Amino acid sequence: MFGHTVDFLFYVILILTGVTFIGVFSVLVYFLVKYRSRPGVAALHSHGNNTLEVVWTTIPVFIFLGLAIYGNEQWTQMRLKTPPADALPVAVIGEQFGWNVRYPGPDGKLAKMEASKVNKDNPFGIDSSDPAGLDDFTTYGELVFPVNRPIRLYLGSKDVIHAFYVPEFRLYQDMVPGRIYDFVWLKAEATGKFQLACNQLCGQGHYKMFGKLTVSTVPEYEAWAKSKAPSPAVTAVVPPSPVAMNQK
Partner 1 sequence: MTTATLAHPATHGAHEHSEPTGWKKYLWSLDHKIIGIQYLFTSLLFLFVGGGLALLLRWQLAYPSTQVMPNGDIGNPASLAFINPQFYNSLFTMHATVMVFLVVMPLLIGAFGNYLIPLKIGAGDMAFPLINELSYWVYVLSGGVLMCSFLVAGGAAAGGWTSYAPLSSVAAYNGTQMGQSLWCVGIFLNGLASIMGAFNYITTIVNMRAPGMSFFRMPLAVWSLFITAFLLLLAVPVLSAAAAMLFLDLNSGTNFFNPAHGGQPLLWQHLFWFFGHPEVYIMILPAMGMVSDILSIFSRKPIFGYKAMVFAMIAIGFLGFIVWGHHMFVSGMNLVLSAAFGVSTMVIAVPSAIKTFNWLGTLWGGSIRFTTAMLNALSFVLMFVVGGLSGIFMASTPVDIFVHHTYFIVAHIHYVLFGGSIFGIFAAIYTWYPKMFGRMMDETLGKVHFAFTFIFFNLCFFPMHNVGLGGMMRRIADPTAYEHLRSLQPINQFITLAAIGLGFSQIIFLWNFFRSLKYGAPAGNNPWQATTLEWMVASPPGHGNFAVTPTVYRGPYDYSVPGHKRDYIMQNEPDAPDAPLGAPRSTVSVG
- Stretch near partner 1 under the rule CB under 8 A, chosen from 72-80, 122-130, 216-224, 226-234: 72-80
- Pick out residues in 214-233 that bind partner 1 (CB under 8 A): none
Residues paired with residue 193 on neighbouring β-strands, in sequence order: 214
- 74 versus 235: smaller Cβ distance to partner 1: 74
- Pick out residues in 6-25 that bind partner 1 (CB under 8 A): 6, 9-10, 13, 16-17, 20-21, 24-25
Q: Residue 166 and residue 194: Cα distance in Å, rounded?
A: 8
The continuous run of DSSP H or E covering 26 comes out as helix 3-34
Q: Which of 227, 2, 241 is nearest to 111 (CA)?
A: 241
- Pick out residues in 144-203 that bind partner 1 (CB under 8 A): 159-161, 163, 165, 167-168, 170-174, 176-179, 181, 183, 194-195, 197, 199-203
Instruction: Supply the minimum distance, in Å, between the C-beta of residue 207 and partner 1.
Output: 4
> What's the burial of 196, exposed, middle or buried (CB within 10 Å: 0-12/13-18/19+)?
buried
Contact 67, 14 (CB under 8 A): no
Q: What is the residue type of 10?
A: F
Q: What is the residue type of 26?
A: S
Instruction: Supply the minimum distance, in Å, between the C-beta of residue 180 and partner 1.
Output: 10
CB atoms within 10 A of CB 122: 15
Residue 48 interacts with partner 1 (CB under 8 A): yes or no = yes
Residue 4 interacts with partner 1 (CB under 8 A): yes or no = no
Residue 2 interacts with partner 1 (CB under 8 A): yes or no = yes
Number of residues that bind partner 1 (CB under 8 A): 84
